Amino acid sequence: MEITVFTLFPEWFEAGPLGGSIIGRARERGILDLRIVDFRRWAPDRHRTVDAPPYGGGGGMVIMAEPLAAAMDESIGPPGTPDRPLTVLTSPRGESFCQETALEWARLPRLAFVCGHYEGVDERLARTRVDREVSLGDFVLTGGETAAIAMIDAVARLLPGALGNDSSSAHESFMEGLLEAGHYTRPPDWEGLAVPEVLRSGDHEAVRRWREEESLRLTRERRPDLYAELLVHPMQLRRLARRARPFVLFRRDLAGGPPEVLFATAGVRALPDFPGLLEGIHSEPGLGPEVRLAEVREAKELAPWGRGPLLEEVRAWLEWAARVPGGERPPGLRFVRNLQRELLARQDADGPSGATSGTAGRNFHGGNTT
């Protein structure tokens, strides 16, 4: 991957966190090509001036559009240039950066960062040369360099080969919309605290279950905001998809209203009265606290359940949701957190699947379909 950074402080990127450890090795092996551009070199005067007071008054200085635009146009091409990288302006007013963003960007061949400084950049440059404004969080930094370094680190470690073992990142915090379970190493007993026995049992399935349960517990206790969005654990959905019998996932209405259907396997959506065919309603690990699974009794009208790509099942689910009685879409339909990443991964494996896949990829940010 090629990443270009436009900054007034190139020394921030020449060493430090991007010069050592995992990211440094990725650069040495050619996995990451980091190009730093000091846009002060494009300043129009002999004093190399790149900032000026804001129109309308106010404190601070604003980075002028002219030198920064000239640097960008020469280095990555003007807007409309074929293969121009996705260009990101680090800004406290931008959309929030998260793990899903890092995963999305790690699939790109090229990426560019514009590091804001002082009071920011001229709004006209943001409108004409930038694709997205992205924030590291709800706080203000001295400059955009710190935010860009953090985002580059998050993206670069996801590149194939960067970690040595690509499975290392698969179970980290936020990769499945949950916090990661704790890790333990030698010695088995330290200051009276023992390693959980299950981790020393050699039972891989028991270890997997323990980690999933710990992940859910930690998320519930430490990040209730994430837990509230969690309806179905993505790993659990993949496991459920291997069931021989068709099923429906729904969320109970604690106020006593009708249940909210979250997912129905292929064929179930076509039944006019499938609620009457449900049985064995129960909860399972990996389902949100209000989510229940119900199996479907055999019915002649029911299409056989296959193991098609997840994207096809999502499309079928969306079609079912759009054709409920009365023609109205059920309010608040929600699906798996991080579904966009699942869709993108399936598209990589299966190839383009038409317009529906692109729509789903855009609409499933954070888990809401609306």
Q: Which domains does the chain have, with CATH numbers?
A: 2-156 (3.40.1280.10), 175-182+197-228 (1.10.1270.20), 234-367 (no CATH)
φ/ψ of residue 24, rounded to 5: -60, -40
- CA–chain centroid gap for 263, Å, is 21
* Torsion over CA: 88, 92, 93, 95 (sign): positive
pTM of the predicted model, to two decimals?
Answer: 0.65
Quick: pLDDT tens for 60-109. Answer: 999 999 999 999 999 999 999 999 999 999 999 999 998 889 989 999 99
Q: What is the pLDDT of residue 312?
A: 44
Whether the per-residue pLDDT at 286 is higher than 60: the answer is yes
pLDDT: which is higher, 86 or 212: 86
Distances (CA, A) of 196 to 22, 107, 210: 30, 37, 10
pLDDT value of position 320: 43
pLDDT, one tens digit per residue, over 213-223 is 888 788 878 98
2 contacts 110 by C-beta, under 8 angstroms: yes
Residue 254 has pLDDT above 70, yes or no: no
pLDDT at residue 295 in the model:
77
In this structure, of 11-25, 154-168, 175-189, 288-302, the range with the lowest mean pLDDT score is 288-302
